[in-house]
């Protein structure tokens, strides 16, 4: 708390040439504080207060968002009005949209923007929708006295793969070409400083900084990291997710950038919320909670979430969740859902499915990751899954196998498990493996769908596999993913399931024997 106040008050001492760029990324519809194990963080009312404190020193203060501010069931229910209205009241100046803004089509996003009082910039997105085109600018120039600052924006080139904005949205994936064009244009306009606002992730931000000169700052987001890094002559800053921190980049400018300072300001209990914004956002949140019982679809048969099922064999609910992932990412081959991520330990009855039902089934806000595995590596993953099945006499201690929650529900695969054979076993060092004792021999057959037909897995072929973030960090014993480049799609498991259910309206998910046992 003392550190937070010190950081905020110290900003008041900076002179009139000071420029401060306040940043948030991936707010994910977090309009009020959310609970963590370290306390409650975030909320637009507190972000507004932080901006006012910085503004009171008399320098130039900008509040920037790098996108994914609209997200999940809250966005589905209210179509973005509370978030956009709250951000406008909080004093946001410029926003670059993220992929989640387009999750429900361009018309929903366009309607949300009616409540915005900030500028929106994105240079590599084009639209046939003229009204949307008028709202999203390829570049923006702002003058502060004799200082001109130019801004351009970049959205992830994977937009059309990550979401379905509908017809008439086009993405230029050549970010280097777009960036060079924007820098040239803004320099021609006489800009003293050039800032790129990106929703592309750090790896692409780094490539831009390495290959495109003339960008002073890249304010980025998308992969939920905390970053302050100088690459060539460009500073790259990221401030995490959900507004837990506000990034504060302060510097003096007299033709050159001097005395640069980067702080992460905790949006915690030490920050007093703006009362008007707090009252308005709380009303929206209470209304949201009352709408969680809104029906989104119907299941004609019960959905089995019992621990004794989802952690030991095929479950019709596990099938449904895994299928929803492949439905969202139609370019992927396989979806693997750890049984421990499916909660409730009950049979959800036939009948209406609500937002509350989905939050109960998948409570962890897990993000879906994409990773490439060879057929041989995929078999190893499935052997780890099969080791979660504890068979009397297999003589493998719990510490040397997958946890019970590591048993996988699957889509895109057909497998046969032979529990009479010895399981995978290893000596674990935390989430890493010090030594594989036995690779496992329980997976008797693996079939993968290829051009509509089930084929034996090819050990040398590369498959695109979907897992969740927990597994990508080695959770449940899946050490193999720690050495893999897992790509965060930022799509949350609840969103994929909600969209799938809505698209079908009435479901009858029956077991199709995608996991069989021998003998």
User: Rounded CA gap, 134 and 102, in Å?
Assistant: 17
244 shares a domain with 299: no
Which pLDDT value is given to residue 164? 81
Which pLDDT value is given to residue 9? 44
180 shares a domain with 240: yes
Q: Which of 289, 315, 343 is the last residue of a domain?
A: 289
Task: Give CA angle at 262 (256, 267), nearest 5°.
Answer: 140
Which pLDDT value is given to residue 450? 87
Q: Are residues 94 and 141 in contact, defined by beta-carbon separation less than 8 angstroms? A: no
Query: Which residue has 């496992």 as its token pair?
Result: 440
139, β-bridge pairs? 152
Q: Which of 254, 289, 324 is the last residue of a domain?
A: 289
- Please name which of 268, 219, 499 lies closest in space to residue 368, comparing C-alpha atoms: 499
Which pLDDT value is given to residue 3? 53
- Please name which of 182, 222, 187, 184 lies closest in space to residue 202, comparing C-alpha atoms: 222
Across 318-386, the runs of DSSP E, i.e. the strands, are 334-338, 347-348, 351-354, 367-374
Task: Give CA angle at 339 (363, 319), nearest 5°.
Answer: 95
In order along its 519 residues, the chain shows pLDDT tens digits of: 555 544 444 443 333 389 999 999 999 999 999 999 899 999 999 999 999 999 998 899 999 999 999 999 999 999 999 999 999 999 999 999 999 999 989 999 999 999 999 999 999 999 999 999 999 999 999 999 999 999 999 999 999 989 888 888 999 999 999 999 999 999 999 999 999 999 999 999 999 999 999 999 999 999 999 999 999 999 999 999 999 999 999 999 999 999 999 999 999 999 999 999 999 999 999 999 999 999 999 999 999 999 999 999 999 999 999 999 999 998 999 999 999 999 999 999 999 999 999 999 999 989 999 999 999 999 999 999 999 999 999 999 999 999 999 999 999 999 999 999 999 999 999 999 999 999 999 999 999 998 889 999 999 999 999 999 999 999 999 999 999 999 999 999 999 999 999 999 899 999 999 999 998
149 shares a domain with 27: yes
Strands 245-253 and 193-199: unpaired
327 shares a domain with 311: yes
Which residues constitute the domain of residue 237? 2-289
332 shares a domain with 271: no
319 shares a domain with 181: no
Q: CATH number for the domain including 285? A: 3.60.21.10
Its pTM stands at: 0.87
User: Rounded CA gap, 309 and 396, in Å?
Assistant: 22
Q: Are residues 344 and 305 in contact, defined by beta-carbon separation less than 8 angstroms? A: yes
Q: Which of 226, 259, 289 is the last residue of a domain?
A: 289
Strands 60-65 and 18-24: parallel
Q: CATH number for the domain including 471? A: 3.90.780.10
215 shares a domain with 325: no
233 shares a domain with 188: yes
User: Rounded CA gap, 41 and 62, in Å?
Assistant: 21
Which pLDDT value is given to residue 4? 52
User: Rounded CA gap, 203 and 494, in Å?
Assistant: 27
The total of other beta-carbon atoms located within 10 Å of residue 29's CB is: 24
310 shares a domain with 267: no
Q: Are residues 139 and 184 in contact, defined by beta-carbon separation less than 8 angstroms? A: no
Measured distance between the N- and C-terminal CA atoms of the chain, rounded to whole angstroms: 61
User: Tokens representing 132?
Assistant: 């949307």
User: Rounded CA gap, 373 and 368, in Å?
Assistant: 16
Number of domains in the chain: 2
351, β-bridge pairs? 299
User: Rounded CA gap, 205 and 228, in Å?
Assistant: 12
At residue 389, φ and ψ (nearest 5 deg) are -85, 110
100 shares a domain with 136: yes
325 shares a domain with 282: no
196 shares a domain with 159: yes
Q: Are residues 157 and 207 in contact, defined by beta-carbon separation less than 8 angstroms? A: no
Which pLDDT value is given to residue 267? 98
Which pLDDT value is given to residue 318? 98
């Amino acid at each position: 708390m003392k550190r937070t106040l010190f950081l905020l008050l110290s900003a008041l001492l900076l002179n009139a040439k000071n420029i401060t760029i306040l940043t948030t990324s991936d707010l994910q519809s977090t309009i009020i504080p959310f609970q963590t194990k370290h306390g409650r963080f975030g909320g637009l009312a507190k972000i507004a207060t932080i901006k006012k404190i910085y503004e009171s020193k008399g320098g130039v203060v900008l509040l920037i968002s790098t996108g994914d501010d609209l997200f999940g069931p809250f966005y589905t229910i209210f179509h973005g009005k509370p978030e956009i209205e709250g951000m406008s009241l909080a004093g946001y100046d410029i926003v670059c949209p993220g992929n989640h803004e387009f999750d429900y089509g361009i018309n929903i996003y366009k309607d949300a923007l009616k409540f915005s009082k900030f500028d929106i910039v994105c240079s590599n997105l084009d639209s046939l929708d003229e009204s949307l085109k008028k709202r999203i600018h390829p570049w923006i120039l702002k003058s502060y006295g004799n200082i001109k600052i130019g801004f351009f924006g970049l959205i992830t080139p994977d937009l059309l793969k990550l979401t379905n904005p509908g017809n008439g949205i086009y993405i230029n994936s050549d970010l280097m070409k777009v960036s060079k064009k924007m820098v040239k244009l803004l320099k021609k306009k006489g800009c003293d400083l050039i800032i790129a606002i990106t929703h592309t992730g750090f790896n692409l931000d780094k490539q831009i900084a390495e290959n495109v000169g003339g960008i002073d700052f890249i304010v980025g987001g998308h992969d939920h990291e905390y970053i302050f890094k100088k690459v060539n002559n460009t500073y790259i800053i990221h401030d995490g997710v959900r507004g837990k921190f506000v990034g504060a980049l302060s510097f003096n400018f007299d033709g050159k950038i001097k005395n640069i300072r980067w702080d992460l300001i905790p949006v915690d209990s030490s920050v007093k919320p703006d009362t008007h914004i707090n009252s308005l956002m709380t009303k929206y949140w209470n209304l949201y909670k009352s709408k969680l019982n809104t029906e989104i679809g119907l299941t004609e048969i019960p959905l089995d979430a019992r621990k004794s099922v989802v952690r030991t064999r095929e479950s019709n609910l596990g099938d449904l969740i895994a299928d929803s992932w492949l439905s969202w990412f139609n370019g992927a081959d396989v979806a693997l859902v750890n049984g421990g991520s499916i909660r409730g330990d009950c049979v959800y009855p036939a009948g209406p499915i609500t937002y509350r039902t989905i939050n109960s089934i998948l409570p962890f806000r897990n993000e879906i990751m994409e990773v490439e595995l060879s057929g041989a590596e995929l078999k190893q993953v499935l052997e780890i899954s099969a080791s979660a099945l504890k068979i009397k006499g297999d003589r493998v201690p719990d510490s040397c196998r997958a946890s019970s929650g590591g048993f996988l529900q699957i889509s895109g695969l057909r497998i046969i498990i032979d529990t009479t054979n010895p399981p995978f076993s290893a000596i674990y060092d935390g989430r890493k493996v010090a030594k594989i004792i036995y690779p496992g021999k329980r997976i008797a057959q693996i079939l993968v769908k290829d051009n509509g037909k089930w084929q034996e897995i090819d050990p040398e072929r590369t498959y695109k596999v979907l897992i969740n973030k927990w597994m990508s960090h080695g959770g449940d014993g899946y050490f193999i993913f720690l050495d893999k480049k897992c790509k965060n799609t930022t799509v949350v498991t609840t969103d994929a399931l909600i969209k799938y259910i809505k698209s079908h309206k009435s479901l009858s998910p029956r077991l199709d024997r995608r996991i069989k046992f021998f003998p």
